[in-house]
Chain A
Amino acid sequence: MRQALAVARKDLLIEWRSRLLLVRVAPFALLVLVLFAVALDSEPLILRAAAGLVWLAMLFASLLVVQRSYAVETDDAAIDVLLTGAGEPGRVFLGKLLAAFVQLLVLAALLVVGAVVLYGAAVSGSRVVLLVTTMVTASLGLSGIGTLYGAAVANMTGKDSLLPLLAMPAAAPLLIAASRATEAAFGSQTIDTTAGWTWVALLAVFAVVFVSAGAAAFGTLVEADS
């Protein structure tokens, strides 16, 4: 566990020093929200769609976060050094996942604020708990998916176009669940908070599945590159 935290700390330090998340990914994510509004051109429609749009923007932004997470390794085959140091590859995976999770959670918070400001979404009282839990579980699941498929394509030619092709179908159920849960949190007509919590339970299942599958498969995937 300590090794995983060490890997996470390294990734987050690299991110902190370069501030890529702040300077590039966050503005891109917010820009996506703006572009949605421009494309849909209807305030009531945008308000109804707010939850789904937030998570769509998250999906796109997560691709950037993951690509960055692996770019720092492949630049000098650093991942081999990491693997020898950490012992079990599962720990490296968990470390990278944790770092991605922190970044995605920050992005999620930013996008929700964006939806409140730009789209007029509102969250009140107890629904905040639902919203925060959704953000945490969905970000965890998304980090799992991204870190896993990121590892699968890490050293391949054309990895930048392969990652979306592989990760997005896997992320679709997460998109569905996170959007419905967030809709419930924003106070939609069709979904009440109980239904919202069912979706959160599903998100928790995804998180568990992808984190475990990732930890198990990471070794095989990364060894495939050497």
Chain B
Amino acid sequence: MTTAVAETDAAAGTGTAATRVIGVAALVVVAFVAVSALLLTPADAVQGDSVRIMYVHVPTAWVAYLAFVVTAVTSGISVARRHRTLGFDRVAGASAEVGVLFMAMTLVTGSLWGRLTWGTFWQWDPRLTTTLFLFVTYVGYLAVRNIDTDPQRRARRSAVLALLAVLEIPLVHFSVVLWRSLHQEASVLNLDGDVRLDDLMLFTLFAGVVGFTLVYAWLVMHRQRLAALGDAQGTVGLDAAIAARRAEASSVPTGVAARTKGA
């Protein structure tokens, strides 16, 4: 076990060729999107400059939902498979972590954009309300994940929770739609529905989705590997403790050992 100690100055981390490529691509695309969104694209006829928030709000929303789907699917796989399920569980967890961050950003940017366009920070429309519930559900999911110490137990428990979330969220959405229909709101105020997009705007929006998806992929790969390191560190600690106990036991004088054996 000397390799662990010897590698301290050049320990291989979670980066690989794949993450470096994705990382650079993500940086380039997001940089372009930022420049284009803030400087190159025109302001909207109706919303003015506040439409520039759209270029960050829509991609983060997209990634948040993508992350949710990935967590659900990998959780399903981790429950269905018999062997080597921990990798899928770690991806589920990593995706949820990144997803929660993006969901928070979606809610914040949406709220700021809404403040500028509608005058209020919040609207109780189905899309926003469901996103809020999705966010809280995932915060709960992560809270549960953080407590379990045994990876197998954690995998089983969080997989059940993730699959329940898949069940719950449509129920929540449907109830909220039905609920809000009682209030006869004059056409759901849709932030991105009223914006007329020209070619550059459309391209920037599309690039935003691509760029943020690359960011998501980069983050999930690193966080999944980080989780693997965390789990391995737990085992390394355990192995070391067991080895230490064995060493202790074998250092007992042979006379005593022989007598206790015979008893």
A residues at B contact (CB < 8 Å): 148, 152-153, 156-158, 162, 165-166, 169-170, 172-173, 176-177, 180, 190-191, 195, 198-199, 202, 205-206, 209, 213, 217, 220-221, 223-225
CA distance A209 to B147 in the complex (A): 27
CA distance A172 to B157 in the complex (A): 22
- Residue pair B164, A157 in contact (C-beta under 8 Å): no
Chain B positions within 8 Å of A225 at CB level: 153
B222 at the A/B interface (Cβ < 8 Å)? no
Chosen A-B contacts, 22 in total, with CB atoms closer than 8 Å, are A153-B144, A156-B148, A162-B140, A162-B143, A162-B147, A165-B136, A165-B139, A169-B137, A169-B168, A170-B168, A172-B133, A172-B172, A172-B175, A173-B168, A176-B175, A176-B178, A180-B182, A199-B178, A220-B79, A220-B156, A224-B153, A225-B153
- Residue with the highest number of chain B CB atoms closer than 10 Å, among A148, A156, A223: A156
Number of A-B pairs whose CB atoms are under 8 Å?
76
CA distance A173 to B175 in the complex (A): 6
Q: What's the nearest-Cβ distance from chain B to residue A185, in Å?
A: 16
Q: A156-B147, A202-B175 are in contact. Are A190 and B182 (CB under 8 A)?
A: yes
Q: What's the nearest-Cβ distance from chain B to residue A74, in Å?
A: 15
- Residue pair A177, B175 in contact (C-beta under 8 Å): yes
- Residue pair B147, A158 in contact (C-beta under 8 Å): yes
Q: What's the nearest-Cβ distance from chain B to residue A178, in Å?
A: 11
Chain B positions within 8 Å of A165 at CB level: 136, 139-140, 143
- Residue pair B147, A176 in contact (C-beta under 8 Å): no
Chain B positions within 8 Å of A158 at CB level: 147
Chain B positions within 8 Å of A209 at CB level: 167, 171
Q: A191-B182, A220-B79, A221-B157 are in contact. Are A152 and B167 (CB under 8 A)?
A: no
- Residue with the highest number of chain A CB atoms closer than 10 Å, among B140, B144, B161, B176: B140
CA distance A217 to B161 in the complex (A): 9
- Residue pair A173, B171 in contact (C-beta under 8 Å): yes
Q: A152-B160, A209-B171 are in contact. Are A162 and B153 (CB under 8 A)?
A: no
Chain A positions within 8 Å of B139 at CB level: 165
Q: A165-B140, A166-B140, A191-B182 are in contact. Are A157 and B161 (CB under 8 A)?
A: no
Q: What's the nearest-Cβ distance from chain A to residue B145, in Å?
A: 11
Chain B, 90-148, CB within 8 A of any chain A CB: 133, 136-137, 139-140, 143-144, 147-148
Closest A residue, CB atoms, query B171 = A173
Chain B positions within 8 Å of A157 at CB level: 147
CA distance A156 to B150 in the complex (A): 12
CA distance A196 to B27 in the complex (A): 53
Q: A169-B133, A170-B164, A172-B175 are in contact. Are A152 and B157 (CB under 8 A)?
A: yes
CA distance A180 to B79 in the complex (A): 37
